[in-house]
Structure 1
Amino acid sequence: MGSGAVLAMGTATAQSSEAVGSGAPSPASLMNGALMLGCQRVAQQQQQVCTDFEQLTDEDPALLTYNQNTADIVVLGAGLKEDGSMRDILEQRLRTGLRLANKFPNARLIVTGGVPQNGRTEAQAMYDWLTGAGVKPERITREGDSTNTVQNAQFTDKILRDRDTSGAIVVTNDFHLKRAMLNFRQAVNGRIPVAGVVAR
């Protein structure tokens, strides 16, 4: 199915009414359709626009609500302190990841981030925090080699491919989320939808 056909699946809203009498959907309504699908079938050159159009939220994404068994919650790392302990910003991301993990107990988690401090990567620190909070270790995959958001997306994509993930839910702070979602959408290249959840 071509990208135009998928985009047209969106419904018009008050903010994106159909062009009167034209018989063609407006660009805004097309983008709403793309957003419903996590910008999955949007051409590479349109992914920035699709992601910019998205309204960020801390609500549960449809990817988890309707298909938690094959979806992955991806919690992005943040720089550790010199002693290997976590900063508040990372704990915020983990609290949101934990909330989703508890609400959707069949969903898998990926924690992504390298840059070790005191012999401990961000991924290991996140794994320790989540297992300490009661998440079963077998639900969590550690990606501890990445050093930036682009690598978070690229290295995580290999994990997503290897286990035939149906969709990825990226968890990070609001100031970081759109950039992270775009990086992940570029990494998966339309293979699966990517949604985002704002860490609180």
Structure 2
Amino acid sequence: MVITVVYGVLAVICLGYFAGIVIYTQTVGFALFWLLTGLLLCAAGAYCAYRRKHPDRLEMPLMLKSAVFTCVSVGFLILAAAGITIFMDTEEEAPEDLDYLIVLGSKTVGREPSDTLKLRLDAALEYLQENKKTRVILSGGKGSGEDWTEAQVMYLYLKNAGVQTHRMVMETQSTDTEENVIYSLNLVKKTDTVGIVTNDFHLCRAQALARKQGKTEVYGIPAKSNWFLLPNQTVRECFALLIEKFMGNI
């Protein structure tokens, strides 16, 4: 009985979170993870309830039970390890007067940055206001459903915030994090000091990608994250980090 209730509560949380993300962001994307997880939990709860009423029916073989338990446990531990890695050392402080900041793009809404991208831009703006010699590379192409490139939206936002245009460089070809990093590093000298600005959950992978390109001295400048979207973004980033590692990109 208890396990059935637990499955039911977790299913409601996952399905409710899925609905909340879709309503808040007006997109589905990785939120499907929570929908599928919620449906699986519903199925597991229904199975347990059925078995409780009919203990002689639909009994799962012990070997299958063990395999499912092992797969779920190992998968959870791997994701947990990735999650711990993501948030390690995100509080490091970048030195003053870096030659360049690289702001990684994210979704835009018309000519306005999304909440996630705005947090990145505000973190970059704070650094740029305190370090007048630093230039900034705004990295992001035009994604599906976007009117402008992400770089153009970022340029306009920082310009309106008072950043001088000669301090800004737009990189408009990239379509994902790996391309953000590679194309942006192509715009700087090997001797230039560089800081990457992105949300805290995203920083670990971005720095690892930069180091893979030979930029060993790259500093992270973490922006805050939207508290409501953070669970979804963190789980998505765990999968992305594992995929990049598997592909040999980091």
* Interval of TM-score (by shorter of Structure 1 and Structure 2): 0.5 to 0.7
Alpha-carbon deviations, 1:102-121, whole Å to 9, x = none?
00000111110112444300
Measure, in 1, the Cα distance between the counterparts of 2:86 and 2:161. 34
1:85 aligns with 2:112: yes
Verify the 8 A CA contact 1:72 1:165 in the aligned structure 2. Answer: no
- Out of 71, 83, 91, the residue aligned to residue 99 of structure 2 is 71
1:13 maps to none
2:220 maps to 196
1:61 maps to 94
2:194 maps to 168
| TM superposition shift of 1:79 | 1.4
Verify the 8 A CA contact 1:52 1:178 in the aligned structure 2. Answer: yes
Measure, in 2, the Cα distance between the counterparts of 1:86 and 1:144. 15
Verify the 8 A CA contact 1:71 1:165 in the aligned structure 2. Answer: no
Verify the 8 A CA contact 2:86 2:203 in the aligned structure 1. Answer: no
Measure, in 2, the Cα distance between the counterparts of 1:136 and 1:165. 24
Q: Which amino acid is 1:104 matched to?
A: N
Measure, in 2, the Cα distance between the counterparts of 1:168 and 1:150. 16
Q: Which amino acid is 1:145 matched to?
A: Q
| TM superposition shift of 1:53 | 9.5
1:112 aligns with 2:139: yes
Verify the 8 A CA contact 2:93 2:221 in the aligned structure 1. Answer: yes
1:137 maps to 165
Which ranges in structure 1 are unaligned for 5 or more consecutive residues? 1-50
List structure 1 segments (4+ residues) > 4 angstroms apart after TM superposition. Answer: 51-54
Q: Percent identity?
A: 32
Verify the 8 A CA contact 1:60 1:100 in the aligned structure 2. Answer: no
2:209 maps to 183
Q: Which structure carries more helix by proportion?
A: 2
Instruction: Normalising by structure 2, report the TM-score.
Output: 0.52
Q: Which amino acid is 1:109 matched to?
A: V
1:15-34 alignment, distance < 5 Å: none
Measure, in 1, the Cα distance between the counterparts of 2:87 and 2:163. 34
Q: Which amino acid is 2:108 matched to?
A: L
Q: Over aligned residue pairs, what C-alpha RMSD do you find?
A: 2.2
1:146 aligns with 2:184: no
Measure, in 2, the Cα distance between the counterparts of 1:129 and 1:165. 29
Measure, in 2, the Cα distance between the counterparts of 1:180 and 1:118. 23
Alpha-carbon deviations, 1:32-52, whole Å to 9, x = none?
xxxxxxxxxxxxxxxxxxx87
Measure, in 2, the Cα distance between the counterparts of 1:138 and 1:60. 26
Alpha-carbon deviations, 1:115-154, whole Å to 9, x = none?
2444300000000000110000000000010000100111
Q: Secondary structure at the match of 1:171?
A: strand
Measure, in 1, the Cα distance between the counterparts of 2:89 and 2:146. 38
1:97 maps to 124
Measure, in 1, the Cα distance between the counterparts of 2:173 and 2:87. 31
